[in-house]
Amino acid sequence: MKKAIIAILTIVFILAVLVYFFFFFFYTPEVEPIGLAVNNEGIDTPSPVIVDLDDETSIIYIPALEVSEKLGFETVWYDQKSILVVSLGDFSLEMPLDNITVSVNNLEEKWEAPLKMIEDTLYMPLYPAVRALGVLAVRNEEENLIEIKTPQAFDPPPENETSVKSAENGPLLHVAYPPAADPFYYYGESLFVFGTTQSFARVDVQVNGEPVELLDRRSGNFLTMVEFPRGQEFLITVEAVGEGGKTRIERTVLYPEWWEAMASEPLAIHSLRVVPAEKQVLRNGDLMQVAFQGSPGGRASYRVGNGGEWQQMLERAYPGGPAGNGGIYTASFRVSSSDIPPGSMDIELPVSVMLERNGEQISRTLPGSVVFLSSQPYKILEVRPEEDLKNRGWLYTVNTGQLQLVSSTLGGSGYPTSVVRYLVEGTRYRATGAFGDYYRVDIGGSDNYLVHRSTVRELDLQDMVDPVISSLNYEEDDRMVRVRLGSSERFHFSPEDAVSSLALNFYGTAGGTGPALPAARESVRNISYLPYAGEGTGTSRFSIEVDYAMIGFKTYWEGNDLLVELYKPFTSDRDKPLEGKVIIVDPGHGGVDTGAPGPGKLNEKDVVLGISLYLQQMLEEAGAEVIMTRSEDVEVNLYDRPEKIDRFNADLFISIHANAHAADAPATEIHGIMVLYNYAHNEKLADIMLETMVEETNIPEFRTWRRNIAVIRHPHVPSVLIEAGYMMHPHDNWYLLHPQGQSDIAAAILKGIENYFLALGDS
């Protein structure tokens, strides 16, 4: 009995094993087929979506004829050549059977998989096909559905107010640039005209009767150049011609003359073109420009104060040009000791001008008065905390050798200015005068510099002493070399950076032998200090060279000690280079700041936000912590964007933009990716980013460029600004405006970041 039971159990066990192996090897559970939808309409097709799992990464195939025709394309199968041609208007896609080399608008591309014939049905690989056709495909995992959509950004609503149609069914036409104005003022002789007409349509576009130079049939985006004369209104006509009729839009542009003389009659003085235009505070030896535009051919003079003598002025042909009959009257007034009131009296005096001709005389008191200083320094100033500086936190240099009358100048002095650098919190300056709302400050030497009143606070005169560098030492750890320079006073300094060295010029420091120098050791190859050798105060120079390629440097004050930190490169996990990294992604512009216009209804602010949101998702999936300066269409102050670098201890700062052409640029010829950087140590990041993005996208290389740009001015974290292509160029904006293109650009930026972090470990 026992043996019988054992035998029965053995048979049951064997049967169970056989049943298990039968189901495991021969039974295939029913899998719900993947659905298809085109522009939110489902396709009930007997040809299912096929997922090919033979490759390492699965490839999704969709029925070629049914999907293409549903999208509105014409399809022709050439049996003898085994080629499927999908076309719309002048656009065509040629897919040979079982060949990964395809033709997109007569340009060859290589796909990851070819067109296939499966059970008498033609199948094309989903993602390369939809990219070529200019549509977006998304796999909805929850509903087990492939959703294919035609992008609507290329077909903006028509301009009813500015479109003139010769036929009721004229094609859509949108002119993005030049904008509608009466007239539109443009300062250049060569103007780019761009916009869009209907995508994938048989529509031709002409500008002033000539075919446009560039027209992408997929998007309808077009771009061309127009030359026009200076000094007169010029009519630009844009026409879109299709099978149903013609649509016409007109724009009027004017390139105004750089200088326009006033009429001879009546005798007059220009209401705005006068110098000084704001209050001037001057010291002994300072030079003040007095100038105005008036009726030509007169005799002009000026005086300072109500009782001063009238001084002759010279008439010029144009601002800053030679003497001549142009109605520009100029004079230079040099302050002398006799002009300065005695004691501590700072008296504000008016500046008046007079114009005479043929016995007629007119005069005017200028808006800019003058005060002659009776004591020096005028004021002692200290730069406010960085969060108070914002848009005005710049030090400007003044060019006293020029006269600028056509446009306004800082402080209304008539002297043009240029930015030197961003102000450093706690720096102290001696103010030697003022132009309007700007203090004129002395940092040593003969040049004049300006700071805005809102960026500094006034100190007592006794709070300023001549800076003396008393000590210099440094320390090192795995992250950096840190230098500490002890000083008796905070002073103005400017950096000169290279990949493995940094020099700082110290302005207004006292002379002497300088501090004792520590010996070079460990990572420091050389360290030096060259003190000012003259009398009084002047410029000293500190420099340090290290044996590694810096990834950043930082300079800041602790009391009166100046700290200089030179950061070392770090290594990353080669398998997960972004794991744990803190990356700030800065989508440019936003809100009322639209950035560069696009050919349709999308502007730069929309495009870069789309790219940035894709990038955020990709970075987070790769293990990075992402800080966004904006995640929606809101305005963000330019100077608030980099502040997150310190708040979140960031490892990288990426600002994302799309480019716009400058006036007179050959827009049809210039396009591609450009990467900007501010400091020498970021050139490596810029080079890697440009090279990677060009390799990973179909957008060509333009260049890298070192520029002093506010948003990437923080030198202590690797930072670049990416111009991902040109908004108005049809080749570039095909990718910029297309959701799939934005995703591809984001993936390329991600790869560039990974390559940079990996390269740091190899340096």
Placement of tokens 């049905």 in the chain: 121
Q: Are 98 and 160 in contact (CB under 8 A)?
A: no
CA 409 centroid distance within chain: 25
Distance of alpha carbon 409 from alpha carbon 275, whole angstroms: 10
Residues in the chain: 763
DSSP string for residues in 259-282: --PPPSSS--EEEEEEE--S-EEE
Domain(s) labelled CATH 3.40.630.40 in the chain stretch across 582-762
> In sequence order, what are the beta bridge partners of 254?
185
Domain(s) labelled CATH 2.60.40.10 in the chain stretch across 163-254, 269-372
Distance of alpha carbon 190 from alpha carbon 197, whole angstroms: 23
Q: What is the token pair recorded at 293?
A: 């535009």
Q: What is the bridge-based pairing of β-strands 83-88 and 74-78? A: antiparallel
Q: What is the token pair recorded at 384?
A: 């406010």
Q: What is the bridge-based pairing of β-strands 701-706 and 673-677? A: parallel
Placement of tokens 């990356």 in the chain: 583
Query: Does the domain at residues 163-254 carry the CATH identifier 3.40.50.720?
Result: no
Q: Residue 110: what residue type?
A: K
pLDDT at 6: 57
What global pTM score does this model have? 0.83
Q: Are 572 and 757 in contact (CB under 8 A)?
A: yes
pLDDT in tens, 552-567: 999 999 999 999 999 9
Cβ atoms within 10 Å of 308's Cβ, excluding its own: 14
Q: Are 673 and 723 in contact (CB under 8 A)?
A: yes
Of the chain, the end-to-end C-alpha distance in Å amounts to 80
- Residue 33: exposed, middle, or buried by beta-carbon count in 10 A (0-12, 13-18, 19+)? exposed
- Does 55 score more than 60 pLDDT? no
Q: May I ask the CATH architecture of the domain 269-372?
A: Sandwich (2.60)
pLDDT in tens, 140-199: 888 888 888 776 545 555 554 444 444 457 888 999 999 998 899 998 889 999 999 888
For the segment 673-688, the average pLDDT, to the nearest whole number, is 97
To the nearest whole number, what is the mean pLDDT of the chain? 88
For the segment 519-542, the average pLDDT, to the nearest whole number, is 90
For the segment 31-38, the average pLDDT, to the nearest whole number, is 78
Distance of alpha carbon 657 from alpha carbon 133, whole angstroms: 26
For the segment 700-711, the average pLDDT, to the nearest whole number, is 92
Domain(s) labelled CATH 3.30.457.10 in the chain stretch across 35-149
User: Nearest Cα to 588, choosing from 467, 694, 709, 493?
Assistant: 709
Q: What is the CATH number of domain 379-463?
A: 2.30.30
For the segment 198-226, the average pLDDT, to the nearest whole number, is 90
CA 125 centroid distance within chain: 36
Q: What is the CATH number of domain 582-762?
A: 3.40.630.40
Q: What is the bridge-based pairing of β-strands 116-118 and 107-110? A: unpaired
- Residue 425: exposed, middle, or buried by beta-carbon count in 10 A (0-12, 13-18, 19+)? middle
From residue 516, how far is each of 373, 471, 505, 524 by CA, in Å?
41, 7, 18, 16
- Band (270; pLDDT cuts 50, 70, 90): very high
- Does 25 score more than 60 pLDDT? no
From residue 237, how far is each of 157, 170, 252 by CA, in Å?
19, 15, 9
Q: What is the token pair recorded at 303?
A: 């005086």
pLDDT-wise least confident of 31-35, 425-429, 715-719 = 31-35
Distance of alpha carbon 677 from alpha carbon 408, whole angstroms: 30
pLDDT at 657: 98
For the segment 118-134, the average pLDDT, to the nearest whole number, is 89
User: Nearest Cα to 86, choosing from 99, 101, 104?
Assistant: 104
pLDDT at 3: 57
Which 3 state secondary structure label does DSSP give 418? strand
Q: Are 507 and 497 in contact (CB under 8 A)?
A: no
Q: Which CATH superfamily is domain 35-149 in?
A: Copper amine oxidase-like, N-terminal domain (3.30.457.10)
Distance of alpha carbon 152 from alpha carbon 450, whole angstroms: 50
Q: Are 467 and 510 in contact (CB under 8 A)?
A: yes
Q: What is the token pair recorded at 639?
A: 């100077």
Q: Spell out a b/e string for 124-157, using b for 16 or more CB atoms within 10 Å of the CB, else e.
A: bbbbbbbbbbbbbbeeeeeeeebbbbbbebbbbe
Q: What is the token pair recorded at 480?
A: 């950096």
Q: What is the token pair recorded at 164?
A: 């003139």
For the segment 656-669, the average pLDDT, to the nearest whole number, is 94
- Does 471 score more than 50 pLDDT? yes
pLDDT at 513: 84
Q: Residue 140: what residue type?
A: N
Candidates 3.40.190.10, 2.60.40.790, 3.40.50.300, 1.10.390.10; CATH matching 469-567: 2.60.40.790
- Residue 120: exposed, middle, or buried by beta-carbon count in 10 A (0-12, 13-18, 19+)? exposed
- Band (23; pLDDT cuts 50, 70, 90): very low
DSSP string for residues in 713-725: --TTS-EEEEEEE
For the segment 436-449, the average pLDDT, to the nearest whole number, is 85
- Does 202 score more than 50 pLDDT? yes
pLDDT in tens, 301-355: 999 998 888 999 999 987 777 888 889 999 999 999 888 877 656 789 999 999 9
Q: What is the token pair recorded at 366?
A: 């200028």
pLDDT at 759: 95
DSSP string for residues in 289-337: EEEEEE-TT-EEEEEESSSSPPEE-EEESSTTS-BSSSSEEEEEEE--G
Distance of alpha carbon 602 from alpha carbon 321, whole angstroms: 45
Q: Are 483 and 544 in contact (CB under 8 A)?
A: yes
